[in-house]
Amino acid sequence: MLEVFPIYSEKLKNERLIRVYTPPAYQHEQKSYPVLYMHDGQNVFNDEDAIGGSSLQLEKYLDSNDLEIIVVAIDQNSPERKDEYCPWPNNEYSRKLLADESLSFGGKGGLYSSFVVEELKPLIDYKYRTQKNRSAMAGISMGGQISLYIACKYPHVFKDLIILSSAFYANQEEMENLLESADLTGIDSFYMDCGTEEAGTGSFISTEFLASNKSIQEIVQRKIPHASFQVLEGNEHHYRFFQNRVPALFTFLNKEDKRKLKRKYGDRSGWNRLIKRDFKQMKIEDGSFAGDVTLLTMNQVSAPAIFNYPSSKVCVVADGYSWLQHFPENERFSLTTVFDDMDNIVQWYIDICLENGNENGRPWMDDLYLDIVVLPDGDIIHKDAEELEAALADGVITEEFYRIAWAEAKRITLLLEQDRFELIKKTKEHRLLLLEQ
């Protein structure tokens, strides 16, 4: 359901139209919901309201995906949009970038920010059933800049930030200085992206626009190590490209569940058992596999590690051993192949996981407890079902994650029994690729 109403701002001394989406179940249940605040409200929900006729089409997306969230879209004051979304007057760099020495705008971002935090948010929390401490903010272009500014000026109010193709160039130096001193410890998740062709293919402005975002991202990354930054090849500064990134607006919704999972990294940094090691990684796409592959060679270990299985004992850690780990894209498992000091495979270890990813060049998986071991003689061993059951009982994982884990384990077991788990057959070949780097 979409409700549209005006409010008068004492801060801005004008009236602003607010658009509020509530999920279908809102009318029938008494639960509270997280809230996503967005700028440029005319362009959020429907094309017929959008400036220029193209929106994010968010109402259709939310209804189709049945997401449990309230979205608050703040209409822009079009004649003063640049003034309100830029905290400081635009700088000389922006005038040179846009080839207009007379260009002058900006400086009302502080007033606009106080309107959002001190007037609008209390009203929304009063009028709707919100989770008051679970608020996110998203913005596009200059809406991205003002979103990051608000997070800096009002720390711990908005826990999740999503900023798309942000136009920082008008206040570049000021934003960088603000970020250096800002308290961002309250940010739970941070997503930022930028296209390579924001102002058109091969243009000077496109190059500088991306460089501007990268400069901001470098500071953010130091403050928020888990921040995500995506460079989108070929993407331009237009809603037909922004529409494709709508799912990124809502990835924070399951962050609390995901954070409880055990995230394991391919480089195994911090593993005290390893005294001397070599590490290699590469991206492989060969028709049957696409994803990150890592090779950890254990030159010296403090002590061997041996797994006791019902029918055998298998050493998996010792001097000269190596672990080849596959993190396949769009799959719910990772595969670790253990090689001994004579380059023989001693086992394949399949971790069931929620997803695989790459964080600042470090491949990772979010472990879902269940494991499958395959030995060279063909034995298939299932492990850690009791850990999964305990995680569900203790509320560490949701019932959804529990079902995902068992469904994936059963799927892979069937493939193994039918000799159709093809990645196992590629491990020696892929190990050679890494060794030859």
pLDDT at res. 78: 94
- Write out pLDDT tens, residues 382-409: 999 998 998 888 777 888 889 899 999 9
Q: Residue 257 — very low, low, confident or very high, per pLDDT cuts 50/70/90?
A: low
Query: Which of 344, 351, 345 lies closest to 365 in space, CA to CA?
Result: 351
pLDDT at res. 288: 82
Domains of the chain, earliest start first: 2-259 (3.40.50.1820), 262-435 (2.40.380.10)
> Rounded distance, CA 147 to CA 166, Å?
10
Q: How far apart are the first and last CA of the chain?
A: 55
- Write out pLDDT tens, residues 287-336: 889 999 999 999 999 989 998 888 889 999 999 999 999 999 889 999 99
pLDDT at res. 29: 81
**Token couple for 334:** 């990772």
pLDDT at res. 256: 53
Q: Residue 255 — very low, low, confident or very high, per pLDDT cuts 50/70/90?
A: low
pLDDT at res. 20: 98
- Write out pLDDT tens, residues 207-235: 999 999 999 999 999 888 888 999 999 99
**Which residues on adjacent β-strands are paired with residue 357?**
364
Concatenated DSSP letters for 296-364? EEEEEESS-EEEEETTEEEEEE-TT-EEEEEEETT-SEEEEEEE-TTS-EEEEEEEEEEEEEEETTEEE
Q: What is the DSSP letter of 201?
A: T
